[in-house]
Structure 1
Amino acid sequence: MKIQERTGAGNHRSAAPVQPAMGERLPAPPRERKPALAALAVLLILVGALGATMLVLRAGDRIEVIQVTDDIQAGQSVGNHVKSVMVADDSGVNYIKWTQVNALKKLKAKSTIYGGTLVIGEMFEARQSVPAGKASVGLALKEGQYPAGIKAGDTVAVYRVGDSGTTGSSSSTTGTSDTLLVDQANVTFVKTASDSTISSTNLPVTLTVDSADAAAVTQASAAGEVALVLIPGN
């Protein structure tokens, strides 16, 4: 009888909410999603990846161009004083490509081009321009008629050597040995061994002189009686 009473009493007991045990966390509310921020983050990642790709592509877009290895004087051809180098392609620069090197050798420098310079089209022209009042004279000199190491860009004095002299406008002296024909002439070209496969005992040299002196220098050269002397300042 007591068992039944206890049981009945238990059935009428009210159900109390179960409290969480100590140390347990309450379930967190779901976070609010922000799709705009997520899209912006993805966009920034894509832009960064695209920029890196463009840099890699630009670095790989290179062309083979011409660089001079020695000083090239005005009116002189590059000859074999060139080498190929790789540079980044730039449509704003008129580079001469290595495939055009043979055509470049037929052109003349407009002004002095220093060794190590990358060649661009504006540096050269088809013909050497001679200033007004000047003349370009070609000489074929034997050893002893020119100083060692003579090169384009040097300034020389021109003498007629031998038993007889001829008149030059720069000296006003005739009929004497070692006559000064030109006191200052500009060396515009000196042929080197690499410029031709034809061997010769003479050294081809081109001078720019006053027009009035050209005939005297040409006559002395034809007679084999011309000599060049480097003057101070070279």
Structure 2
Amino acid sequence: MRIRPTSTRGGQSPAATSAESPATLSGLDARRLPASPRRRRPDLAALAALLILGGTAATITLILNGSARVSAIRITQHVTAGQQLSRAGMEEVRIADTGIDYLPWAQHVSYTQRLARVTLLPGTLLTTQMTAMASEELIPGKARVGLALKPGQSPAELQRGQRVQVISLPGQDTGDHNSTVLARSALVDSVSEPGTRGSSRLVNVIVDAALSPRIAAYASNGQIVLAYLPATH
């Protein structure tokens, strides 16, 4: 039996060439081939980025909320408009800094000398606009009148910032036989401490300028009485 010779190129047989072809490599030779890089799944990468950003944002929020807190004044007692603030009616509270000009607790002592411009309910956070000095009512058209009042001519518990009626008493010198309300709502600007028994105390009230001459005339004759007006809630 004759075997037909097979031509080869370069001295190699087709079997040898076929054995070295990458398509037919197996085993160790196949593992040595360079592997193509894996493609990352875009959805997982996006999720990881969102988690990182979310964690960073939460951390920043916690840091800001923890550091941006201020100490403010909170009202604990009902304060009517025109009434003087008291230390007993205030407490310190820590709140987030929202940009509103809440009065800092460090200034609470100075604000016990001020008056409530509006009615303040318990739980109110105090601001500058809610308070006023009694002298702030001294605007054009107003006048401060000093009254030297004997015991019984003014309430014993009279305090600065309260509202009072200024009433004239009957007197032979003036010819008046009836009491008259001279000022319906005068603001008490200052009150001196009561002195010894029988002595007068000085009370300054702010009234309309048109009423001040008449009130001063009655006061010089000792014919003035002050009646306390509880503020409406």
> Quick check: 1:49 aligned with 2:58?
no
> Quick check: 1:228 aligned with 2:229?
no
Q: Deviations over 1:157-207 (max 9, x none)?
A: 42236x545xxxxxxxx233654260523334575xxxx9x6757776543
CA contact (8 A) 2:164 2:184 kept: yes
The Cα of 1:140 is off from its aligned counterpart by: 5.3
The Cα of 1:128 is off from its aligned counterpart by: 0.9
Q: Deviations over 1:10-64 (max 9, x none)?
A: xxxxxxxxxxxxxxxxxxxxxx763422221212212222233233234323211
RMSD: 3.9
CA contact (8 A) 2:162 2:228 kept: no
> Quick check: 1:65 aligned with 2:72?
yes
Question: Given the two structures, how large is their TM-score scaled by the length of structure 2?
Answer: 0.58
**Kindly, what percent of the aligned residue pairs are identical?**
24
The Cα of 1:213 is off from its aligned counterpart by: 2.4
Note the 1:81-96 alignment, pairs <5 A.
81-90=89-98, 92-96=99-103
CA contact (8 A) 2:167 2:181 kept: yes
The 10-residue stretch of structure 1 (146-155 or 96-105) with the greater mean CA deviation from structure 2? 146-155
The separation in 2 between residues aligned to 1:218 and 1:156, in whole angstroms, is 15
**Which residue pairs with 1:182 in the alignment?**
182
Letter aligned with residue 208 of structure 1 = I
Letter aligned with residue 99 of structure 1 = A
Letter aligned with residue 165 of structure 2 = V
Q: Identify the match of residue 159 of structure 1 among 149, 153, 168.
A: 168
For residue 87 of structure 1, give the secondary structure of its aligned residue in structure 2.
strand
For residue 100 of structure 1, give the secondary structure of its aligned residue in structure 2.
helix
**Which residue pairs with 1:136 in the alignment?**
144
Tell me: CA distance 1:199–1:134, structure 2 relative to 1, closer, same or farther (3 Å).
closer
Q: Deviations over 1:204-225 (max 9, x none)?
A: 6543323232234235445544
> Quick check: 1:208 aligned with 2:206?
yes
